[in-house]
Structure 1
Amino acid sequence: MLDVVDIGKRSLATYRGVAPDEQLDALFRSAERLRGARCLHLSATPYGGGVSEILRSLVPLYNDLGIVADWKLIHGDDTFFQVTKRIHNGLQGAPGALTESEKAIYLANSQLNARRLIADSEDYDFIFVHDPQPLVLASLSGNRDARWIWRCHIDTSRPNPSFWELLAPYLLDYDAAIFTLQEFIPPALPIEHVRVYAPAIDPLSPKNHPLPQPLARDVLEWIGIRTHRPLVTQVSRFDRWKDPMGVVRAYQRVRPHVPDLQLALVGSLAMDDPEGWDCYEEVRAATAHDSLIHVLTNLVGVGNIEVNALQTYSDVVVQKSLREGFGLVVSEALWKGTPVVGGRVGGIPLQLREDSGGILVDSVEECAEAMLHLLRQPEEARLLGERGREHVRQHFLMPRLLLDHLHLMDTLSSARPLPSRDIVPSPLTAIQGV
């Protein structure tokens, strides 16, 4: 059987006064037509990336609305995840091709996971499959009663044809697909129903909940950050697409102008990303001589609260990605009122509108210039952060993402009606705050 992630309970009532009221009201109206439905989200790992962070907050909210939802994980050994990382990179345009042996590893593990899904004997109405790791399960599970949705979180605008031709036939069994941007929709996508909407952050999660400045200072001092010195931070997986070495080079250009400037490079090492270890070691080796560069991971006790403190207390947050699906850390930083210097790729420009949130850059040199500008102009940086926070409130908080999912589910169930289910008591009072 597939592993079930323990997600606890959440209440949409707690978002009243945080997320826009109109989104919360619309959620209840949409959920009325779906109460009693059963929904599954499938992914590769319970921690270490944006997908897991989204699902940990999103899935409990389905249940609060009366939609029975689970989050389950596929299984795989290190070899399988090495292959899926190559597929991930190939879908983002990296060169190369899978060997016949690697294709066999991917398909054999997918067959095992399909059998585990069948053994679960759960009668789901909707199955959301996140990214390429579990993609093949729609074809192999034999469950055609469910409405299958592929949620692609990465930039597949120019996929390597070798990888795309391998996976595209397995998408024929999907009822719908979701992408973050219109331009991410790959050529000749064999799915008729396509939605485009962005991911979102949870403003009430430990990573994003308001953190008092004194507590933030204490947390940072505890992990070695000196709070009397200026600080620039990048939070992301140790992944070459996130260009951590480019951030280091930009920092080194700024450092002569701000001699006591600190840089924090912070990331999780996840079980479905074996390349992350190589990137981490490369960054460690390149920065070992500089005591003001802090390379921090979940392996040394840096988790949600520490990241919250870093994003809250930093003078500037950087997300200098070379390819990016969305970049949740941009919205996370903006939610705390911290300005962002971001790469002009993927979903980052969605979050950094003109004169709002921060500065978009295209090179190491531009990144350094933008960092130095914001460090030297703290009032402008503060205003950018404030405007960015409101932009995130309107567009990139968890209730809006849940609402988009419910609209899609409602459309799919209208085309193919759901079977009758036991009705869960309505959460009307909780949502409307009466």
Structure 2
Amino acid sequence: MEEVPVAEKRLSDYRAIIGSAAFSEILALASKLKGKRVAHVNATAYGGGVAELLNSLVALQRDVGLDAHWFVLAGSNAFFNATKAMHNALQGSETPLSADMLAAYRHFNEVNASTFTDEYDYVMIHDPQPAPLVNLCERHGTWLWRCHIDLTSPNPSVVKILEPHLRAYDAAVFSAAEYAPRAVPFRRIYVNPPAIDPVSPKNRHVYEEERDSILSRFDVDFKQPVISQVGRFDPWKDPLGVIDAYRLVKKKVPGVQLLLVASMARDDPEGWLWFERSARHAGEDPDIHLLTDLRGVGALEVNVLQRETDVSLAKSLREGFGLIVSESLWKRVPVVGGNVGGIRMQI
């Protein structure tokens, strides 16, 4: 297990956005927790919404007086293949985990537990990848499981695997009340939808010289209509369906272009498979652009591309929340999204 370094942030930078009343309320609540030690544990430090959230959350917790830390799991390809299969099953895939997958899942959680010492007042475990730690570590503080996934129709076999661990947590936190699986007798349930960071590089104001410099690097005609989807190459984001939708639009709007923008996360070995499938599905169409962080598309680039988009898509088949919806709306870009989970909550 490795600790993730986090850049400083100041809550005062958000005061003009959230208002003085909310600013004061946060400080009052934080004063009751001043000096408390908090550990967050998840699967990856980059790629995907959880890493984005923690980059901001940990820094802001520190700024208001908490001693917050962020750790990521060590793991092999076999481990991340297993956790990706588990993630898919929790969102409704009928494919069960193999014996080898379960063995890798147990082994690497045991390895990570051996390197983690609970010297914290609160330990927040994010998603199913590190869920067994609650039964593998000697606990001293309050342990909470934060689930960022849409669990409205999970594969029962995988819920059964996780149930002995999930019931051991002092509380569970979900983005929506309906995500809490009834098969698990949680001690306490909280509902707390996430939020975007409006002053992060991905959402902050963009200066004209920054915009012009970034746009010049892409072979996209921004004078013509642009549709974009920002999100992992993942079956639940439905990139093939996005391409099909774009082709329907192109019959009536011949000049339209499609941007599929993603980061290739360490904990998602399936990402390259879906990138390749998307590329094959796109074929030789010069108006379909597949853009990733490995080709220089970082947070600021995503910010600029979202602002130059005419319509933002969030065509997920399952979605715990989907930060791209609020990101696009924050930038005054209309969103067409799948009628599921967190997308429905925002639109």
With the shorter chain as reference, the TM-score category is over 0.9
Who is 1:212 aligned against? 207
Partner of 2:252: helix, strand, or coil? coil
CA distance in 1, matches of 2:115, 2:121: 18
CA distance in 2, matches of 1:109, 1:37: 29
Partner of 1:18: helix, strand, or coil? helix
- Write out per-residue CA displacement over residues 253-312 of structure 1, whole angstroms, 9 at most, x where no aligned residue: 111211111110011111100111100000111113110110101111111111001111
Whether 2:95 is the aligned partner of 1:96: answer yes
1:63-212 alignment, distance < 5 Å = 63-118=62-117, 123-143=119-139, 145-212=140-207
Who is 2:245 aligned against? 250
CA distance in 2, matches of 1:228, 1:99: 50
CA distance in 2, matches of 1:8, 1:217: 27
Bigger radius of gyration? 1
Q: Which amino acid aligns with 2:126?
A: H
CA contact (8 A) 2:159 2:183 kept: no
1:289-300 alignment, distance < 5 Å = 289-300=284-295
CA contact (8 A) 2:167 2:187 kept: no
**219-228 or 37-46, which moves further after superposition?**
219-228
Partner of 1:71: helix, strand, or coil? strand
CA distance in 1, matches of 2:103, 2:210: 51
1:285-324 alignment, distance < 5 Å = 285-324=280-319
Who is 2:30 aligned against? 31
- Give the structure-2-normalised TM-score: 0.98
| One of 284, 289, 296 as aligned partner of 2:279 | 284
Q: Structure 1 regions of 5+ residues with no counterpart?
A: 353-434
User: Alignment length, in residue pairs?
Assistant: 347
Offset at residue 192 of structure 1 (A): 1.8
Who is 2:6 aligned against? 7
CA RMSD of aligned residues (A): 1.1
CA contact (8 A) 1:39 1:70 kept: yes
**Relative to total residues, which structure has the larger helix share, 1 or 2?**
1
- Write out per-residue CA displacement over residues 291-338 of structure 1, whole angstroms, 9 at most, x where no aligned residue: 011010111111111100111111110001100000001111111111
CA distance in 2, matches of 1:221, 1:343: 32
Q: Which amino acid aligns with 1:109?
A: F
Who is 1:51 aligned against? 50
**223-232 or 134-143, which moves further after superposition?**
223-232
CA distance in 2, matches of 1:131, 1:154: 7
Q: Which amino acid aligns with 2:31?
A: E
Partner of 1:70: helix, strand, or coil? strand
- Write out per-residue CA displacement over residues 100-141 of structure 1, whole angstroms, 9 at most, x where no aligned residue: 2221111111100000113xxx51000110100000001101
Offset at residue 217 of structure 1 (A): 4.1
CA distance in 1, matches of 2:179, 2:165: 18
CA contact (8 A) 1:211 1:312 kept: no
CA distance in 2, matches of 1:347, 1:213: 32
CA distance in 2, matches of 1:205, 1:192: 35
- Write out per-residue CA displacement over residues 175-227 of structure 1, whole angstroms, 9 at most, x where no aligned residue: 01011111111122221210112111100000000113553244123122222
Cα pair distance change 1:258/1:215, threshold 3 Å: farther
